[in-house]
Structure 1
């Protein structure tokens, strides 16, 4: 069946050369499992590029002049194979589908042979090899060479036909005026010392985008449970303290207020994953599946990045951490997601007289500050008249300017407000 669809595609290209540009833009010779079909495909595309009329003698001469052995009767049969070129897109999709299946089966067979040849089962090695195989297959299937003209055309097309804003904002007007918007593919860092409101700040961003802008958001929490995060969200919506929410009963007058907040959150596109000791591979697969289900981009918060597990169980040094940050950046670009990662600051900022955080204060940062498109530092101010204030330093912004914004932090109600 697989070889049959390869023959049909080649026959369509020979009978109607006007379909060759489309087929060449989608398929490569690597998509043909049969070797003879692969070299015939190369011959057709080469002859077409020279504006040559492709008939049997011309195609035959191509192989003879290059001393490439081929079954001449098989080539002749392609000219006599009757097929409807109007269905060429359908044929190409089927060919790609079977091609991916064959490649995946071959890689699984290689892993099976490895298992049969050894008594030691290394799960990490097997998972790594399987992921590499899948990534290679995806690369061969979807990455096609594109010139600058094609990039410019797609860029202008997106500008002209875009009717839905897929970017994200913080919800704080003064801060958004500085940073602009957070776009899919961006990696954002929110960093600060413990108890500065980093998780609450990011939850406010997620809540604003999910409830006000009706966008999809996701929280990957490695520190707090989903129940704890839910209480924080309810607290921010109702302006009730965490204690009041946890001690509330059905007969309490506040119960209806809490129930309304729960209903609002339930109807939103907000997802929470509190899987402990999550790895980069787990994050990639979860976000890929989530985006596939939603069919649109989403804003993701990871709390916090120092708790993300690496495949290296021996040490967690800077090389491992830089692998995490660069991998998260690749995930953001590949899946077209906006990712915010919460990070700790080291103690050096506390010994500094002005207490102003610097990029070098990122704890075990590795290449974190280099991979990030936007870096926000949260630094507490002295309480004034019972209110806590936090300065947000925009210390790095690839797509805009830097600056400082002051926000009011209602710690008891788990939310921030513009000053």
Structure 2
């Protein structure tokens, strides 16, 4: 079976290769067009590969390209005989009746090259799998990365001219001037005003000490994006089950005590609220993966699948420290650094924002004001370096127990690579784990411990 497969001829089109070279000999503009799609490695025939490489050298050195100059250069490089002699070169001009079709021929050559590279990748991955030196997840991740790179190569995306890029940036600035959000809206007015939404390819870290409300805020943001903005959210929960997340979301949406929801001891009026909340959330495009123990390669594979199948607009991960690298690691710090870099790379690859929740170190507890600092990011300074935005949740009431601090939550924009830092105030309703835009009137109803009796805006 193996011998039979080894005798197969790889995908190729010698005629298309010759046609490309012929076009390049007829018209020098065809050289620049061909170079957008091809390299010397794109050619299956070794002679054609050498000729293309030589013609590109002539072009880059601003020398004329025709049969005579090409033959002369091949002779200087002492490769004229290996490509079939002068007769082969002069015959290329007859392979293309017109240079106007060079792009069509170049795409054929590129497509055959990609098919060969897919075959080569399969062979490499097969060898790695047989050797058994790597975990299956490592081999899968390498294969996926390579195939994604090939997908980019297969696309017709070319360089961009500066004029349309300038217009695009000016359009974004114009929207910001008018107060429009240019990224994915968080659903929180003051936060959106600060960062103009979550931007494509950004890696955002949302960090806090335990019980500050990281998961609650992540779910609130997910809900706002999916329900208010009608965008698609991918949520990876490494700590809580999907059922627990849905219970929290229903409690928050209906504004009913999460304890009462869990026990089921609800009056009829609250059941109606839950029914309405369920109806609202059921329309949301939110996709939850609650796989308990994921390594970063598995998460990347799942994220790519979500993007491919569901075209998600944002990914939220709860939480970063529960991910692991897979395979041997020298230290936890290096592992977290690798995970952080991988998430930033994934955000760029998928061209969507990725929000990763993160724990803060105990150093926060040792300071008198307990306010988090960038140095508190747990286990790795790489998180600070890789993140485009770092957000800290700080609820002073958990430390002060003062009535004036009840319900007040600060969202500290500690890092903003492309904009200002600062602090955004939110109101937090602990009983049903819900953040809302800060309102100065919140003291009127938060003073009452039974906040379920109050009426809130949805």
Does the CA-based 8 Å contact 1:108-1:130 persist in structure 2? Answer: no
Deviates more, 1:260-269 or 1:33-42: 260-269
CA distance in 2: counterparts of 1:264 and 1:91, whole angstroms: 53
Distance 2:22 2:129 in 1: 41
1:329-384, Cα deviation, whole Å (9 max, x unpaired): 11112221211111111222122111111111222134111211221111222263
Q: Could you say which structure has the greater relative contact order, defined with CA pairs below 8 angstroms and 6 or more residues apart?
A: 1
Which one of the candidate residues 413, 420, 431 is aligned to 1:412? 431
1:102 maps to 116
C-alpha separation in 2, matches of 1:134 and 1:63:
40
Offset from partner CA, 1:71-105 (integer Å, 9 cap, x none)? 13443443222567665444433433321221232
CA apart distance, 1:70? 1.0
Rg comparison, structure with higher value: 2
1:211 equivalenced with 2:232 (yes/no): no
**Rounded Cα–Cα distance in structure 2 between residues aligned with 1:154 and 1:281:** 36
Change (3 A) 1:269 1:15: farther
- Cα displacement string for residues 212-263 of structure 1 (whole angstroms, at most 9, x for unaligned residues): 1222222111011111112222222221233444566999555554344334
Q: Match of 1:298?
A: 313
Deviates more, 1:387-396 or 1:276-285: 387-396
Aligned to 2:216: 200
Find the counterpart in structure 1 of residue 352 from structure 2. 337
Matched, 1:328 2:339: no
> Does the 8 A contact of 2:48 with 2:83 survive in 1?
no
TM-superposed deviation, 1:63: 1.0
Number of residues of Structure 1 aligned to a counterpart in Structure 2: 410
Q: Cα distance, 1:49 vs. partner?
A: 4.4
Match status 1:175 vs 2:185:
no
Alpha-carbon contact 2:428-2:435 (below 8 Å) kept: yes
Alignment of 1:202-241 (within 5 A): 202-241=218-257
Residue 95 of structure 2 is aligned to residue 81 of structure 1: yes
**Which of 54, 61, 70 pairs up with 1:59?**
70
- CA separation of 1:359/1:249 partners in 2, compared to 1, >3 Å: closer, same or farther? closer
8 Å contact from structure 1 (residues 221, 302) kept in 2 = yes
In 2, Cα distance between the equivalents of 1:348 and 1:76?
A: 76
CA 1:235–1:140 in structure 2 vs 1: closer, same or farther (change >3 Å)? closer
Taking the aligned partners of 1:33 and 1:397, their CA distance within structure 2 comes to 48
SS of alignment partner, residue 168 of structure 1: coil
Pair 1:93-2:93 in alignment: no
Look up the SS of the partner of 1:343 in the other structure. strand
| Structure 2 segments unaligned to the other structure (5+ residues) | 1-10, 439-458
Provide TM-score, normalisation by structure 2: 0.78
Give yes or no for contact 2:235–2:316 (8 Å, CA) kept in 1. yes
Q: Distance in 2 between matches of 1:54 and 1:314?
A: 54
Farther-moved stretch of structure 1 (234-243 vs 8-17):
8-17
Post-superposition shift, 1:201?
0.8
1:3 aligns to 2:19 (yes or no): no
* SS in structure 2 at match of 1:2: coil
Q: Are 1:277 and 2:299 matched, yes or no?
A: no
- Which residue, out of 324, 332, 335, partners 1:309? 324
**Which of 166, 176, 187 is the aligned partner of 1:156?**
166
Deviation at 1:139, TM superposition (A): 5.3
Q: 1:80–1:275: structure 2 CA closer, same or farther, 3 Å change rule?
A: same
User: What is the CA distance between 1:130 and its match in structure 2?
Assistant: 6.1
State the Cα RMSD in Å: 3.4
Instruction: Give, in whole Å, the separation in 1 of the partners of 2:225 and 2:32.
Output: 42
**367-376 vs 79-88, which deviates more?**
79-88
Shift of 1:169: 3.0
Is the 8 Å Cα contact of residues 183 and 198 (structure 2) preserved in structure 1? Answer: yes
Aligned partner of 1:364 among 371, 374, 379: 379
**Aligned partner of 1:13 among 2, 7, 24:** 24
Matches within 5 A, 1:114-125: 121-124=132-135
Q: 2:410 aligns with which of 391, 399, 414?
A: 391
Aligned residue among 207, 215, 223 for 1:191:
207
Query: For residues 107 and 143 of structure 1, what CA distance do their matches in structure 2 show?
Result: 15
CA deviation vs aligned residue, 1:193-219 (integer Å, no higher than 9, x gap)? 111111111111122122212222221
Separation of aligned partners in 1, 2:63 and 2:171:
37
Contact 2:255 2:432 in 1 (8 A): yes
8 Å contact kept, 1:248–1:254: no
Residue 393 of structure 2 is aligned to residue 378 of structure 1: yes
1:346 aligned onto 2:354: no
